[in-house]
Amino acid sequence: MANGAVTTAVRDYAWSVVLVLTALVVTVAILTQVTTPQTNTGASQPAAVTGTSPAAPAPDTDLSPQTVTAADEACRDNTTPRLVKVSLIEQHMWLCQFGLPVTDTPVTTGSVDRGNGTPTGTWHVESRETDRYLAGPDYHVFVHYRMPFFDDFGFHDSPWQQFAYGDRRQYRTDGSRGCIHVPPAAMAALYTWAQVGTSVTIT
């Protein structure tokens, strides 16, 4: 009887060990299943981190304001289809179509120190003349183009002029008798561009 009891106790202990081991194996299997990464089945995965940031977009290289030129400033407020604008201080002329500059050139205006100043104000081109003589008490000169805008005052070329157009000092003593002297090529362009009735503003 004693041997039989021992045998039964050993058998029962062995089964207990088997059950414990089985439970342990099942637990390990479940834990392994939970912690093992799943195989990619076609779903997109995040890109691997390489340690570098994506390239930053190129900065805008044109953030600074555009330079406003003297021509832009001269024509900015014009609302007419064509305007010839002259600055006595600048000794300069601009051609404007509405608010946009077309072209510009240095000019020579009246010799103010001799009492021959160019009048300021707003007028309109009265006529367009070619190849004619201009005459006065002490002069008789030939011009290729003339465009009067007020009384005897007008635009014309001046092949006899001996100093640079646009000179802000010499015009005061050696300028015109009130007309606006325009360099030859610029005068030809003005004659082609302007029409009778084109606005003229002198400041």
pLDDT at 201: 98
Average pLDDT over every residue of 95-108? 97
Of 15-29, 57-71, 117-131, where does mean pLDDT reach its minimum? 15-29
CA distance 93 to 183: 11
Per-residue HEC secondary structure of the chain comes to: CHHHHHHHHHHHHHHHHHHHHHHHHHHHHHHHHHHCCCCCCCCCCCCCCCCCCCCCCCCCCCCCCCCCCHHHHHHCCCCCCCEEEEECCCCEEEEEECCEEEEEEECECECHHHCCCCCCEEEECCCCEEEEEEEECCEEEEEEEEEEEECCEEEECCCCCCCCCCCCCCHHHHCECCCEECCHHHHHHHHHHCCCCCEEEEC
The pTM for the full model equals 0.67
Average pLDDT over every residue of 101-115? 97
Structural domain boundaries of the chain? 1-35, 70-202
pLDDT at 22: 55
CA distance 196 to 191: 10
Of 30-39, 46-55, 80-89, 142-151, where does mean pLDDT reach its minimum? 46-55
Write out the CATH class of domain 70-202: mainly beta
Per-residue pLDDT tens over the stretch 146-196:
999 999 999 999 999 999 999 999 999 999 999 999 999 999 999 999 999
Q: Which two tokens stand for residue 120?
A: 């300021």
Q: Which two tokens stand for residue 67?
A: 């330079």
Whether 161 and 108 have beta carbons less than 8 Å apart is answered as: yes
Confidence of residue 100 (pLDDT cuts 50, 70, 90): very high
